[in-house]
Structure 1
Amino acid sequence: MYFSEDQTRRLDARIRQLEKNTGIELVAAVVGKCDHYPEIPWKAFALGVAFGALVIVVQSMLRPDWLSVYSALIHTLLVLGAGTVMALLTVFWPAWARCFLDKPRAEAEIRQYAQSVFLEREIFKVPARTGMLLLVGLFERQVVILPDSGVGRRLSPEALQLVIAAMRGDLNRGNRLQALTNGVAVLEEQLKAAGFAPAVADTDRIPDALIQQKGDADV
């Protein structure tokens, strides 16, 4: 959906390599949009209306002779038209819609989405509670890492932030493959630094395949 077959195979292989080298189980997920965000078109509409009204005020000041019996109708159409265009752009242009995205709300939605994936995939069933979820929200351009208790006790929040920081630049540029590749590489480094090592026995309990979900929209 968001990666070619070859890219998906490469990412799956990289995740398996991390698991082999650290003894943990990693589930990676890429989601188009973690919520519908119905407030975004309305915010854009309000901006368009304000812009249309400003244009009318300026035009009336500069050219008062343009005022006519039809001015009220024309002004109404202009204001509503500007608002409608701004709102429609948020539907077809994700970058424009992102301008109206409230960051704290996006953080809450992507974390809630990640928690649902964590439970749905039963990552908590990994032996010694050493499962992890790495989830990327493409529209939100944010990353959430949820380690189970067996990992969270040893891997500090600062280490997780290093992983997210390694992904942020490429994610903002739209380079999904490189962002995820960098994230897995830095995560492996941090896990090794925290003392994780190859498992003595095969503990693979969860499919390694990269999860790709549309969520609420294509991006």
Structure 2
Amino acid sequence: MALLSESEQQQVRDAITRIERDTDAELVTVLAPQADDYTYIPLLWAGILALLIPGAINYFPQWLGAAELLIVQWACFAVLAVVFRLPAVTTRLIPRRVRFWRAANLARRQFLEQNLHHTQDGTGMLIFVSEAERYVEILVDRGISSRLGDDTWQGIVSSFTEQVKRGQTLQGFLACIEACGEHLTRHVPATHERNELPNRLIVLE
């Protein structure tokens, strides 16, 4: 299921179209459910906890036999492995630095895959969101970075990140696009009509 409905994605598309009328910047928006599947993490945690089960059980007055302990251990491993596979749970088992590192890598891959580095005047801009990691990043090409410093986007990213945490991803995108548009209109104004890259919201599977 898409992270945003078709009508919500259309709102993002319309917002980009409005902004690009007044700037040479080429905005691309990407939304990912999560940056990585972290396959090994649930199994690692389930295995560690399952290994600790026999020792924990032995603190209770009634001891179990070896066969019963083994069954309990395997049952715990199976249940925890399934529970820890839930995205909302998995991301909480991973250090914040690791989650952000994976999300940042995906953002940079998307910058290249969406050809944002191949625009005519180097005016590509990526607005990237990974929901599970609650990660937002804005990446720009040389035509924009030469006129606007990275600190320009810090406040916008912080506000968008808070909205993602509250489950307001659509509102975050619309506010972010509008805020970016204000800077781009002043510092990267439109010099001619063009539309090199698609305005649609790209939702990763």
Q: Once superposed, what is the RMSD of the aligned Cα atoms?
A: 2.1
2:88 to 86, 95, 99: 95
Q: Quote the residue 1:28 is aligned against.
A: 29
The Cα offsets for residues 34-76 of structure 1, whole Å up to 9 and x where unpaired, read as: 22212321243145326634540331xxx1xx23xx5222222
40-49 vs 168-177, greater mean Cα deviation: 40-49
TM-score w.r.t. the length of structure 2 is 0.88
Aligned to 1:56: 57
- Aligned to 2:197, the other structure's residue is in SS state coil
Give runs of aligned pairs for residues 77-156 of structure 1, distance below 5 A: 77-91=71-85, 93-156=86-149
For the 8 Å contact 2:160–2:173, the answer to whether it is kept is yes
Task: Return the TM-score normalized by structure 1.
Answer: 0.83
Runs (5+) with no aligned partner, structure 1: 215-219
List per-residue Cα deviations over 1:88-136 (Å, max 9, x = no partner): 1122x22111111232222222222222222222112222211111111
What is the count of residue pairs matched by the alignment? Answer: 204
Runs of 4 or more consecutive aligned structure 1 residues displaced over 4 Å after TM superposition: none
Q: Distance in 2 between matches of 1:22 and 1:53?
A: 64
Residues 189, 83 of structure 1: alpha-carbon distance in 2 compared, 3 angstrom cutoff = farther
Counterpart position of 1:209: 200
Q: Corresponding residue for 1:18?
A: 19
Q: Displacement, 1:82?
A: 2.0
8 Å CA contact 2:23, 2:191 repeated in 1:
no
State which of 175, 188, 194 in structure 2 corresponds to 1:196: 188
Structure with the higher fraction of residues in helix conformation: 1
Name the CA distance, whole Å, in 2 between partners of 1:84 and 1:7.
38
